[in-house]
Amino acid sequence: MKQTLMILAIGMALVFAFNPPVAAKTEFISIGTGGTGGVYYPYGGGVAEIWSKSVPNVKAVAEVTGASVENIKLAHKGETVVGLVMGDVAVAGYTGGEKFDGKQNILAMATMYPNLLQVVTLKKSGITNIEQIKGRNISTGSPGSGTNFMAETTIKALGIPLDSYNDSRLSFTETANALRDGTIDVGFWSVGPPTSSIMDLATTHDIHVIALTPEQVAKVLAANETYSSVDLAGGTYNGVDAAVPTIGVWNVMLCQSTLPEDMVYQLSKALFENNDYLVKIHPSAAYTTPENAVKYSPIPLHPGTIKYLKEVGIAVPAKLMP
């Protein structure tokens, strides 16, 4: 009997020696965010932490990128699998319009928070109307960013020729520094307020956030249906005490449409169920809810997200089905 048990034990040892247990494969998730002076980067870093801690066998990392337009192109090409994107750019990428050569391989995972267009100058410039950018040195945001996309959409809608000003197309941090140094007169941000780059500028210089008139708002909304009229709350930045009428657009977390349903289900579940941690990173994350995913997503949702939403009792409209 002992000899039989010994033979069995040796046999089992040989089986495991030649057929060791297969370790679960680690999935690497790269999140395209934006520059370090905006909200995308810290927000994306928080999402990466949540996924790495909460989703088995996932290692996520936030990447510094040129933001929305670039994030869609990176996801489409497979250089990243998740991107943080402004809603207007998401529509352009999904349909293959504007700055994209054909329909991109993307679907929405979640709706993040609203961005506000913030057109900033120094008080001493005397600039009080966006149409005064003619003949000025400005920055409409870095190439490939959602800020640049929204700024140029706004400028075109107001009938301002794109060649009537000098555009440096700087990142958020560079734009703030250029305003501080006097190398530009006006800077554009499309970001969730408050953003660190404008906050830092407002601590050292008297800033003015340029309001859009009702007529200007109407023209911009007519040019892009994903935009809405909204006020930048008074007190958001030092020295800007009154509410500032402007326009806003929702941000979208998107992913490659070819990602497996179960993977996106797990990522969506972890994102929504750890939102309290994300809010500690930035207060705008309070908008990242399952309800807002179906209320504000400008493009169809990934089947993995839809599976989670149905699981928690949220109906998904037909227009958001892939």
CA separation for the pair 70, 76 (Å, rounded):
10
Tokens of 255: 């992913």
Same domain? 43 vs 100: yes
pLDDT of 18 above 70: no
pLDDT of 33 above 70: yes
- Asked whether residue 19 is assigned to any structural domain, the reply reads no
- Asked whether residue 315 is assigned to any structural domain, the reply reads yes
Question: Which of residues 193 and 11 earns the better pLDDT score?
Answer: 193
Range 207-233 average pLDDT: 96
Name residue 161's beta-bridge partners. none
**251-291 confidence digits (pLDDT tens):** 999 999 999 999 999 999 999 999 999 999 988 899 999 99
Same domain? 197 vs 260: no
CA dihedral 288, 293, 299, 303 (to 10 degrees): 110
- Asked whether residue 163 is assigned to any structural domain, the reply reads yes
Same domain? 124 vs 90: no
Q: Which residues contact 320 (CB under 8 A, 6 or more apart)?
A: 108, 294, 297, 299, 300, 301, 306
pLDDT of 20 above 60: no
Same domain? 135 vs 108: no
- Asked whether residue 11 is assigned to any structural domain, the reply reads no
Same domain? 277 vs 296: yes
pTM score, whole prediction: 0.84
Same domain? 206 vs 129: yes
Same domain? 228 vs 282: no
- Asked whether residue 13 is assigned to any structural domain, the reply reads no
- Asked whether residue 205 is assigned to any structural domain, the reply reads yes
Cβ atoms of residues 297 and 252 within 8 Å? yes
Name residue 138's beta-bridge partners. 167, 186
CA separation for the pair 10, 169 (Å, rounded):
70
Mark which of 219, 249, 279 sits at the end of a domain. Answer: 249
pLDDT score, position 96: 96
Mark which of 249, 281, 304 sits at the end of a domain. Answer: 249
Range of the domain at 200: 115-249
Range 57-74 average pLDDT: 96
Range 76-82 average pLDDT: 94
Range 240-247 average pLDDT: 98
Cβ atoms of residues 179 and 120 within 8 Å? yes
Domain count, the chain: 2
CA separation for the pair 288, 281 (Å, rounded):
13
pLDDT of 14 above 90: no
Same domain? 170 vs 198: yes
CA separation for the pair 207, 100 (Å, rounded):
35
pLDDT score, position 19: 53
pLDDT of 24 above 90: no
Mark which of 249, 278, 310 sits at the end of a domain. Answer: 249
pLDDT score, position 218: 98
- Asked whether residue 6 is assigned to any structural domain, the reply reads no
CATH number at residue 39: 3.40.190.10
pLDDT score, position 236: 96
Same domain? 290 vs 310: yes
Same domain? 180 vs 267: no
Same domain? 84 vs 119: no
Same domain? 242 vs 165: yes
- Asked whether residue 20 is assigned to any structural domain, the reply reads no
Cβ atoms of residues 71 and 100 within 8 Å? no
CA separation for the pair 59, 53 (Å, rounded):
8
